[in-house]
């Protein structure tokens, strides 16, 4: 069985995304050291966020995506799981990487997750 790597070949990043990510990372550094991060969105921006985390020596990462064709695949060495496999555990935090995150945010809130406690969205000045 072939395992698919859905990582995008990131050769450059948007400066706004990088600055927004670094600000978020610095603000949440302590939380990150104690939790696994699930990046919601196995696309370009999610791949960027994984690269940014790896640059900061953080590798306790999983991905999830609404596209079921990506489930069971990987972004580099990080597995992509179904959103149904996410549990509201204290040791897991969700980082939404999609630009249009409102639907995912509402779904998480309906499922009992709390914004800026259980899940986070990094917004740049573009959004």
User: What's the CA gap between 6 and 47, in Å, rounded?
Assistant: 9
| Beta carbons of 124 and 20 less than 8 angstroms apart | yes
Q: Where are the alpha helices (DSSP H) in 1-127?
A: 15-27, 29-33, 44-55, 102-110
Condensed to tens digits (0 to 9), the pLDDT of residues 74-103 reads 999 999 999 999 876 667 999 999 878 999
Higher pLDDT, 97 or 9: 97
Higher pLDDT, 125 or 11: 11
- In the predicted structure, residue 55 carries a pLDDT above the cut 50: yes
The percent of residues above 70 in pLDDT, for the chain, comes to 94
pLDDT at 1: 60
Structure tokens at 82: 């179904």
- 127 band by pLDDT with thresholds 50, 70 and 90: very low
User: What's the CA gap between 4 and 6, in Å, rounded?
Assistant: 6
Condensed to tens digits (0 to 9), the pLDDT of residues 100-122 reads 899 999 999 999 999 999 999 98
What integer is the mean pLDDT of 5-14? 79
pLDDT at 90: 67
| Beta carbons of 94 and 113 less than 8 angstroms apart | yes
What integer is the mean pLDDT of 29-34? 89
| Beta carbons of 52 and 18 less than 8 angstroms apart | yes
- Is the pTM higher than 0.85? The answer reads yes
């Amino acid at each position: 069985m072939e395992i698919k790597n859905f990582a995008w070949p990131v050769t450059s990043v948007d400066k706004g995304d990088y600055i927004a990510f670094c600000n978020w990372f610095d603000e949440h550094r302590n939380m990150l050291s104690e939790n696994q991060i699930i990046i919601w969105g196995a696309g370009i921006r999610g791949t960027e966020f994984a690269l940014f985390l790896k640059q900061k020596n953080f590798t306790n990462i999983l991905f999830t995506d609404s596209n079921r064709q990506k489930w069971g695949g990987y972004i580099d060495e990080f597995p992509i799981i179904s959103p149904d496999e996410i549990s509201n555990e204290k040791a897991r935090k969700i980082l939404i990487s999609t630009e249009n995150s409102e639907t995912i945010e509402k779904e998480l809130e309906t499922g009992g997750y709390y914004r800026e406690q259980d899940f986070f969205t990094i917004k740049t000045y573009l959004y």
